[in-house]
Amino acid sequence: MAQLYHDVVDTSVGQLQLLVSDKGLVFVGSPNAPLSEAKSYLNNVDAVDQAITDGQKTLKYRQQISDYFEGKRHDFDLPIDHFGTGTRLQQAVWDALVLIPYGMTCDYTTIAANIGQPSAIRAVATAIAKNPVLIVTPCHRVLRKDGGLGGYRGGLTMKRQILALERTA
């Protein structure tokens, strides 16, 4: 079993739990949620339970997320480790999300078209809802076709805050 490393980053929206493997970022939690939230998003529950707190292994992840919330960073150069989570379609959606530029938004239909599955809008929405890596895999940039916020695991207040941050930075 691959080892996970745990840390917490303090941000303007609250504390975010981080899980990192030796391959990359595995999970970014909702504001002030317990680490156990990760169990709902990752296939390997035991790895979450056995995560080790290690500030050195998580330093670059914590720093880049902190810089993002301080308006100092618009793009991340962090590897993401899907950690065996998600179907091929879900992983394709998550990979497509990182291509949405900072400060821009799009809708579910656009993401479906971008991954070559234009009729899979519901599946795309489900994949976005299951995104284990908030902020770095920017599902907050996806809106409903009518421009409404839609849902967000971190809550609509957080979604509004980070969209506003991206508009003003």
Q: DSSP secondary-structure letter at 111?
A: H
Active site residue 106: no
How far apart (Å, rounded) are the C-alpha atoms in residues 106 and 19?
Answer: 28
Residue whose pair of structure tokens reads 């292994």 in the numeric block:
57
Active-site residue (options: 13, 139, 163, 165): 139
Report residue 32 as tokens.
């002030």
Q: What is the DSSP string of 6-36?
A: EEEEEETTEEEEEEE-SSSEEEEPPTT--GG
Phi, psi angle pair for 9, to nearest 5°: -120, 130
Catalytic positions, written as ranges:
139
